[in-house]
Structure 1
Amino acid sequence: MTPTLHVAVINYGPQSDYAAMLPELAGALEVYTHNDLKNTGDFARYEYVPDCEFVPYAELMIRRTAQENPFTHVITDNEYDLERTARIRAALGIPGQSAASALSFRDKAVMKEVAGRTVRTARFARLETITDLTDFIDATGYPVVVKPVKQGGSRDIRVLRDDEDLVEFSRRHWREDLLAEEFIDGRMYHVDAVLAPGYRFVASSRYLRSCLGVFDGQNNGSVQLRPEDELALRLEEFFDRTLEAFDVPEVSAYHLEVFHTPDDQFVLCEIASRVGGNRIPALTQLTYGVDLRAAWLRRSVGLPVPPPPTTAPDKVHGSVSLLPQGRPVQAPGRPPFPWVRDYQVNPNLRPDAVAQNSTSHLCYAIVEGVDAAEVEERLYEVEAWLTKHLQDVPAEAAGS
């Protein structure tokens, strides 16, 4: 343990193993979480807090603890807590991402205003009333996308394609945090990175299908690009230009989503200062040997990390997730293909579950290939096999 460090953590991910990621600091960690984490016995403090990201308890206790035992760092791996940890750091005089910087990556309207200084973004408007929405539709035409400004994982997003959709949307409870933006036609790519002094890792991938496709019954997934591909190099340059517009912290992870239009242009969808979700960390670990979350958190508290690879990988990877079926089904066993690197069935899914967001899944498979084309072909093959081998389960058996 490094005795001079004292680190407060507000946790989100149930798989975050801080003892493994930060073994030097186990006795210096004070962790607040609404997850039942493992390997917490050596922590200076570990407290399970129901609804931790929605209640101010962690902030109150960190401030009180700091009066007697000052913290050197306050960190989070939860996007929804970036602003709160920034606020705590400012109050305690601790360096790190500022509240203004956190807001620019969290509020999608502020994000687009900032990013628009250096890259193209979709036209957008904040919505206070339904009139703001109809005015925006009059100006841009259908379709338009309506989303909360601080939500993630494609949650609570609606695509309005015609007046019938607008009327249906008007019957829903109105929210005070909405944004409308023009619908951009094009495939969506993502760039995932960790940047710190003396450390730079950037990797580009393509979503198998639109993240919004889950609401139309389309399985989702991701396909890595080889780092030397021309499109990957262009995406990295677009990522760098995007960051030029922002007040960036010294150390951060990033997840950028960008449309590639039919006329070969890039249009920013969103950028977040956190690790990408779903299977992105696992794919990155398999291809590059880089643990995105560990690299981000370790550099955030000044701990060393192995340098990122400097040579192109032999294989790249991709994933496909089968959606919940809305009826009791049994997912099959591991697909019989030698290029399947991982296969998992969601043990926490209700039998009648339907897709709630882009991370909803019944099961998923990770495959390998020499390039994006081979990976994509294999993803479609394993998707077809999994779909064919799903078995309906009687409701009474599913509930037993």
Structure 2
Amino acid sequence: MTNVAVINYGPRLDYPAMLSELTDRLHVFSHHELRNTQGLAHYEFVEDCESVPYAELMIRRLARDEPFTHVITDNEYDLERAARLREEFGIPGQSSASALSFRDKLVMKETASRTVATARFARLETVADLTRFIERCAYPVVVKPVKQGGSRDIVVLRGDEDLVAFSRRPWRDDLMAEEFIEGPMYHVDAVLGHGYRFVASSRYLRSCLGVFSGQNNGSVQLHPQDAFARRLEEFLDRTLEAFDTPDVSAYHLEVFHTPEDELVLCEIASRIGGDRIPLLTRTTYGVDLHTTLLRQLCDLPVDPPPTAPPAEIHGSVSILPQGRPVRAPGRPPFEWVRHYEVNEQLAPDAVTLHSASHLCFVVVCGADSAEVEQRLLQAEAWLLARLEGPAMEPELTMHQV
């Protein structure tokens, strides 16, 4: 009989709705408190779930009474933990080695470099490793933890003053350096399974690192019939040729497009993209990435991916926290706005901590990427002009991913 252990991160995932056939066979340990837990075999909210070993310990104990047939997670930080449990229980799925190759950015680049271009990189044991890398590659260089996400704790060193300032920070034992690549960054989001293939490509509105200097972040979808979208999809396939991939997985690929018209890998993860990517994908294609992935991981049927081109594509832009109390504006008054949402959980003096940090965000539609981008910039300007006054209750709140 099917018995499923779930290590959850997403605060809005509805497991009884997504996996309705298995509700009473789901044992869910969650980083966030979930709203709908009705009928679950087991549910616990675990504070700091991705950082503490409690879920892993309890899943092993539950398995003594009834063995698990599936161990699944929606969280990148739990991929290795879920893989360890599957291997221990003899359950098919992504192996620990495969999970590590997508989680550790240095291992990832060593692996991917077999089939695609990557920036030059090096592991940093000491500051001497960093200075040698700078001598070899020249400024600017990027320094980041090998297993972090959301652009957290990334530093760009653009000159010797930055290096000296960086040397005053506590040294970490999980750092790597990589060459800075010029050019816009694209992301490719996919779910691949037994006879199932869904791939969509987008361009980041601005650099993900720009949020730490006050630039609002967002994405602009590419039309699937765009020649560059097909080129990005081919790059995804070539990248995955280098990896040991599970039968079913999601992928989030980030790739630079250089001024010389080259594609250079930034990173690839075996998970669903974060921020507004699931919402944009559902709005354009009618594909719920989480449901599509998790049902296949549990050997449940899914609707086939769409084959007809979408009538319109979408993009989003997020207004950053301001570090001071402000009033979130109401919905922008444009007919092409498809969704507007205010972050109810944001503290009045919150600052930007990662690339998905936001005070509010807006989703717009358009016939092509150029129109979507123009409308995003218009909506962004409208919102920024109306950030004012002390924090108040949001004028509009939408409760959907």
Q: Same fold (TM over 0.5)?
A: yes
Aligned partners of 2:98 and 2:245 also within 8 Å: yes
**Unaligned residue ranges in structure 2 (runs of 5+):** 394-401
| Cα deviation 1:260-285 (Å, max 9, x = unaligned) | 00111000000000000000000000
Q: What corresponds to 2:130 in structure 1?
A: 133
1:336 maps to which of 330, 333, 337? 333
CA–CA separation in structure 2 for the residues paired with 1:335 and 1:354: 23
Alignment of 1:186-197 (within 5 A): 186-197=183-194
SS in 2 for 1:328: coil
Match of 2:16 among 14, 19, 31: 19
Equivalent residue, structure 2, for 1:238: 235
Is 1:38 aligned with 2:54?
Answer: no
Where does 1:46-195 land on structure 2 (aligned, <5 Å)? Answer: 46-195=43-192
SS of the aligned residue for 1:176 comes to coil
Q: Distance in 2 between matches of 1:133 and 1:125?
A: 8
Aligned residue runs from structure 1 range 318-357, under 5 A: 318-357=315-354
The one-letter code matched in structure 2 to 1:101 is S
Deviations 1:259-314 (A, max 9, x none): 00011100000000000000000000000000001111000010011001111101
8 Å CA contact 2:16–2:38 kept in 1: the answer is no
Counterpart-to-counterpart distance in 2, 1:160 and 1:350: 31
Greater shift in the superposed pair: 43-52 or 377-386: 43-52
Q: For residues 46-67 of structure 1, what are the alpha-carbon distances to aligned partners after superposition, in whole Å with 9 as ceiling and x for unaligned?
A: 0121211111111111112112
Matched residues in 2 for 1:38 and 1:346: separation? 17
Distance 1:118 1:322 in 2: 37
Alpha-carbon deviation of 1:218?
0.4
User: For the residues of structure 1 that align with 2:193 and 2:314, how far apart are their CA atoms?
Assistant: 25
- CA offset at residue 325 of structure 1? 1.1
Distance of 1:128 and 1:233 partners within structure 2: 39
Any unmatched runs of 5+ in structure 1?
Answer: none
Partners of 1:53 and 1:213 lie apart in 2 by: 27
- What letter corresponds to residue 300 of structure 2 in structure 1? L
Match of 1:358 among 355, 360, 366: 355
Asked if the contact 2:281–2:287 (Cα under 8 Å) also holds between the matched residues in 1, the reply is yes
3-state SS of paired residue (1:113) = helix
Percentage of identical aligned residues: 70
CA distance in 1, matches of 2:52, 2:16: 25
- CA deviation vs aligned residue, 1:114-151 (integer Å, no higher than 9, x gap): 00000000000001111111110011000000000000
Deviations 1:363-399 (A, max 9, x none): 10000001111000000000000011111328xx89x
Shift of 1:350: 1.6
In 2, the alpha carbon distance for the partners of 1:46 and 1:259 equals 41
What are the residue-to-residue correspondences of 1:258-273 with 2, within 5 Å? 258-273=255-270
- Partner Cα separation in structure 2 for residue 10 and residue 354 of structure 1: 28
2:294 aligned partner, one-letter code = L
- Separation in structure 1 between the aligned mates of residue 280 and residue 31 of structure 2, nearest angstrom: 26
Amino acid at match of 1:237: E
Letter in 1 for 2:307: T
Which residue identity is paired with 1:214? V
Q: TM-score, normalised by structure 2?
A: 0.97
How many residues in Structure 1 have an aligned counterpart in Structure 2? 393
> 1:40 Cα deviation (Å)?
0.7
Distance 1:167 1:350 in 2: 33
Alignment root-mean-square deviation, CA: 1.0
Q: What residue in structure 2 maps to residue 391 of structure 1?
A: 388
- Cα distance in 1 for partners of 2:276, 2:46 equals 26
Aligned equivalent of 2:399? none
Amino acid at match of 2:46: V
Give 1:99 shift. Answer: 0.1
Residues in 1 aligned to 2:283 and 2:69: alpha-carbon distance in whole angstroms: 33
How do 1:375-390 and structure 2 match up within 5 A?
375-390=372-387
